[in-house]
């Protein structure tokens, strides 16, 4: 009970902060394109398409031109549904159902309301013919609800809802997926329409434009077609686990890894040969006119004609976050899709040759890039708007698992699970310590951080051991075991030896603060959502947290007390990277300000 009450108290504090000692204000926003997409749904007339792009919904025309942007959520939007009359769009984000009116782009409903803190998370909302929504919640015994989007009133339609469902473009038919069975129902009466299909595994489902046919995929190499008039039929496919969509009642489209297959619904025969897109899509959403929106995890949406997937092109919509960020002096930099950019108006690419840039490490106005090419990894430093050669990396046996700077930007720490390398950037000298040297037994290196002067390394191993290590000699100076059920996720160490450890326990985020040489935390802070990053300021007197959940943004704490000093405006998405400037007066975060275009935000910090 004590833990619940403290969680509620902190949640309220995060939602409604009192006057804080400091401030954290937006001073600059930077934009990146090529945002990733999670879902798409065509309007019934085929003249517009709704695309879930990160934490927004883009309404676009059939050529992919953005007409408007629907905003509100801070987390990614998924499972879109368009009302039959085209006036409303619904999508789920972080367990909440959002409903927008297309005319004007206004958010007309958030369900459950923010005040209902004990409500079950929403799995999906799907429109019926009368513009009400069938609502599923994330609980096996939760009822199936009908939501009036205008009034917010809900009605229970069934004591227990199915596992999942989708509705047809006209809203009159639903395809129900219910723990091993799939079948069609009338959305008004919930009466079954035709025989059920059984399955072992299901990953994708589709309905024909008029709702008379349904299809499910998931069992390797098989697709089942359902109808109200006949038993389910199994069609063979050369694809293992494809995304599926009906072009019309006669043709079913299947796509996986950029390979597009067309099957005749009546016979199961392939129509033509296997067509190929260069962009590797795994899901398709097709209009009545044969325009296809393709989707692939963590990539932008694509557009192509069903007859010519080889002409597939990415749709370049504004992003709400970056892959990583850095400050090189006052110059902001970011990584997106393993490509580095210097941010400005316009953005300029960082020339990395043929190598990709998967990671930026940044602290105190110093930014180093990890480049990955055919010859392996190399380190380069961002200086005067260019990448210049940095120190040589150790010969790691495995892929790198850590690439992080000390809070003052002087030392680079890297490891591959077996070997830990500490590099002085100015002297370009490296000291290595292996798991065997540290006598870790069968445990591997997991989290690691180095203090500003390079004398102390904080480590957490794969078996939950928390260690302090002398950075030069490799001698373990203290050791303790994390409590059972605690998953360590983030780690940093200040110049004075104060340690910040981000953990997840009882499905809740916590940040623990340890004084120098202490084995128990002097402060344990709890958060209702997630802590995505934490970084000490160069002098170690402040700790910045990049959080998402009931409040999404950046929080700055006083290191000595753990008290909150300042917080930013609400930010979009999550993670994206976090770094301080050299003076500890600015923070760069790889997230936009929520409700506005932007991918990276520069914040001014005042104590």
The per-residue pLDDT for range 2-13, each reduced to its tens digit, is: 222 222 233 333
Mean pLDDT of 17-28: 84
Per-residue pLDDT band at 21 (split at 50, 70, 90): confident
224-239 pLDDT tens trace: 999 999 999 999 999 9
C-alpha distances (whole Å) from 178 to each of 9, 158, 200, 492, 501 are 39, 13, 12, 46, 42
Tell me, what DSSP letter sits at residue 528?
S
**Quick one: which of 575, 571, 581 has its CA closest to 604?**
581
Whether 395 and 416 have beta carbons less than 8 Å apart is answered as no
| Cα→Cα distances 390→387, 397, 412, Å | 9, 20, 11
Name 9's Cβ contacts closer than 8 Å, sequence gap at least 6.
Answer: none
The answer for residues whose C-beta is within 8 angstroms of residue 22's C-beta and 6 or more apart is: 556, 565, 566, 605, 606, 607
* Higher pLDDT pick, 264 / 441: 264
**pLDDT digits 0-9 by tens, 361-375:** 999 999 999 999 888
Give how far Cα 539 sits from Cα of 22, 222, 325, 448, 559, Å. 17, 60, 20, 19, 10
Q: State both tokens at 403.
A: 């690439």
- Taking alpha carbons only, the member of 318, 418, 322 closest to residue 362 is 322
Q: By percentage, how much of the chain surpasses pLDDT 70? A: 97
Q: Enter the tokens of residue 446.
A: 């997991």
CA distance 422 to 430: 5
Are residues 569 and 26 in contact, defined by beta-carbon separation less than 8 angstroms? yes
Our measurement of the distance from residue 156's CA atom to the centroid of its chain's CA atoms, rounded to an integer in Å, reads: 32
Whole-Å CA distances, 571 to 70, 75, 217, 461: 16, 10, 37, 32
Which residues sit opposite 134 in a β-bridge?
Answer: 126, 146
Which residues does 34 contact at the CB level (< 8 Å), separation at least 6? 300, 314, 316, 317, 319, 336, 337
Q: What is the DSSP letter of 455?
A: S
Tokens 């069903």 belong to 306
Radius of gyration of the CA atoms of the chain, in A: 26
17 pLDDT higher than 60: no
Q: Which two tokens stand for residue 207?
A: 């309905």
Instruction: Convert the pLDDT of each residue in 99-152 to its tens digit.
Output: 999 999 999 999 998 888 788 999 999 999 999 999 999 888 899 999 999 999
Q: In the beta sheet, which residues pair with residue 119?
A: none
**Res. 220 pLDDT band, cuts 50 70 90:** confident
- Report the mean per-residue pLDDT for the chain: 92
Residues 6+ apart with CB under 8 A from 253: 244, 245, 246, 247, 260, 261, 262, 284, 286, 292, 306
* Distance in angstroms (rounded) separating the CA atoms of residues 463 and 543: 27
Q: What is the mean pLDDT of residues 421-431?
A: 93
The closest of 296, 293, 323, 282 to 58, measured between CA atoms, is 293
> Which stretches within 283-338 are classed as H helix?
none
Contact (Cβ atoms closer than 8 angstroms) between residue 458 and residue 445: no
Kindly provide the b/e burial profile for residues 490-508, where b requires at least 16 CB atoms within 10 angstroms of the residue's own CB.
bbbbbbbbbbbbbbbbeeb
Look at 98 and 201; give whichever has higher pLDDT. Answer: 98
Unique residue bearing structure tokens 């380069």:
380
Q: Rounded to an integer, what distance in angstroms lies between the CA atom of residue 200 and that of residue 143?
A: 24
Please state, in angstroms and rounded to a whole number, the distance separating the CA atoms of residues 299 and 67.
21
How far is the first Cα of the chain from the last one, in angstroms, to the nearest whole number?
A: 35
Q: Which residue has the higher pLDDT, 6 or 165?
A: 165
pLDDT attached to residue 318: 94
φ/ψ of residue 169, rounded to 5: -60, -30
Distance CA(581)–CA(326), nearest Å, equals: 9
Distance CA 320, CA 400 (A): 27
Token pair 């409604």 is at which residue?
A: 16
| pLDDT-based confidence at residue 18 (cuts at 50, 70, 90) | low
What's residue 395's pLDDT?
Answer: 75
User: For residues 23 and 91, what is the distance between their CA atoms, to the nearest angstrom?
Assistant: 34
Decide: pTM greater than 0.85. yes
In a 13 Å sphere around the CA of 147, the CA atoms on its Cβ side amount to: 26
pLDDT at site 14: 42
Supply the pLDDT for residue 397: 65
Q: 214-228, 333-347, 386-400: which range is least confident on average?
A: 386-400
Burial of 273 (0-12, 13-18, 19+ CB in 10 A): exposed
> Can you say how many angstroms the Cα of residue 26 is from the centroid of all Cα atoms in its chain?
23
CB 515 within 8 A of CB 498: yes
Q: State mean pLDDT over 7-25.
A: 57
Residue 13 has a pLDDT of 39
């Amino acid at each position: 009970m004590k833990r619940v009450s403290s969680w509620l108290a902190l949640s309220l504090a995060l939602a409604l902060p009192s006057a804080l000692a400091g401030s954290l204000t937006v001073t600059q926003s930077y934009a990146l394109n090529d945002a990733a997409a999670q879902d798409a749904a065509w309007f019934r007339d085929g003249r517009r398409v709704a695309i879930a792009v990160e934490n927004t919904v883009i309404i676009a025309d059939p050529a992919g031109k953005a007409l408007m942007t629907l905003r509100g959520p801070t987390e990614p939007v998924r499972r879109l549904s368009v009302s039959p009359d085209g006036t409303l769009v619904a999508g789920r984000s972080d367990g909440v159902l959002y409903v927008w009116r297309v005319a004007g782009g206004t958010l007309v409903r958030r369900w459950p309301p923010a005040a209902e803190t004990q409500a079950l998370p929403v799995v999906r909302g799907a429109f019926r013919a009368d513009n009400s929504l069938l609502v599923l919640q994330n609980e096996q015994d939760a009822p199936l609800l009908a939501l009036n989007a205008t009034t917010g009133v809900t009605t229970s339609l069934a004591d227990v809802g199915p596992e999942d469902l989708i509705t047809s473009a006209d809203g009159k038919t639903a395809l129900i997926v219910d723990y091993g069975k799939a079948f069609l129902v009338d959305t008004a009466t919930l009466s079954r329409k035709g025989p059920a299909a059984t399955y072992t595994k299901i990953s994708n489902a589709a309905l024909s434009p008029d709702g008379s046919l349904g299809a499910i995929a998931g069992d390797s190499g098989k697709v089942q077609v359902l109808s109200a008039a006949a038993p389910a039929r199994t069609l063979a496919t050369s694809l293992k686990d494809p995304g599926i969509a009906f072009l019309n009642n006669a043709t079913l489209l299947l796509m996986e890894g950029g390979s597009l297959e067309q099957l005749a619904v009546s016979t199961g025969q392939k129509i033509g040969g296997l067509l190929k897109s260069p962009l590797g899509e795994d899901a398709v959403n097709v209009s009545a006119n044969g325009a296809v929106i393709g989707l692939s995890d963590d990539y932008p949406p694509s557009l192509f004609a069903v007859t010519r997937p080889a002409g597939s092109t990415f749709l370049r919509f504004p992003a709400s976050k970056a892959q990583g960020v850095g400050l090189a002096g006052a110059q902001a930099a970011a990584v997106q899709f393993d490509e580095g950019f210097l941010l400005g108006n316009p953005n300029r690419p960082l020339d990395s040759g043929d190598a990709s840039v998967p990671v930026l490490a940044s602290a105190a106005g110093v930014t180093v890039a990890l480049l990955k090419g055919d010859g392996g990894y190399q380190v380069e430093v961002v200086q005067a708007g260019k990448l210049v050669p940095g120190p040589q990396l150790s010969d790691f046996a495995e892929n790198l698992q850590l690439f992080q700077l000390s809070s003052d930007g002087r030392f680079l720490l890297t490891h591959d699970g077996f070997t830990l390398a500490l590099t002085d950037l100015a002297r370009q000298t490296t000291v290595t310590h292996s798991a065997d040297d540290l006598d870790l037994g069968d445990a591997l290196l997991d989290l690691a951080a180095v203090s500003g002067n390079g004398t102390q390394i904080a480590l957490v191993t794969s078996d939950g051991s928390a260690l302090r290590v002398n950075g030069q000699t490799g001698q373990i100076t203290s050791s303790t075991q994390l409590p059972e059920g605690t998953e360590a996720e983030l780690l940093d160490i200040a110049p004075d030896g104060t340690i910040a450890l981000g953990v997840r326990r009882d499905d809740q985020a916590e940040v623990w603060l340890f004084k120098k040489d202490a084995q128990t935390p002097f402060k344990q802070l709890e958060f209702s959502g997630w802590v995505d990053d934490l970084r000490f300021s160069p002098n170690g007197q402040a700790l910045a947290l990049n959080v998402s959940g009931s409040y999404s943004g950046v929080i700055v704490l006083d290191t000595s007390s753990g008290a909150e000093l300042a917080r930013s405006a609400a930010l979009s998405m999550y993670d994206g990277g976090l770094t301080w400037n050299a003076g500890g007066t600015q923070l760069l975060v790889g997230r936009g300000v929520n409700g506005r275009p932007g991918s990276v935000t520069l914040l001014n910090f005042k104590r």
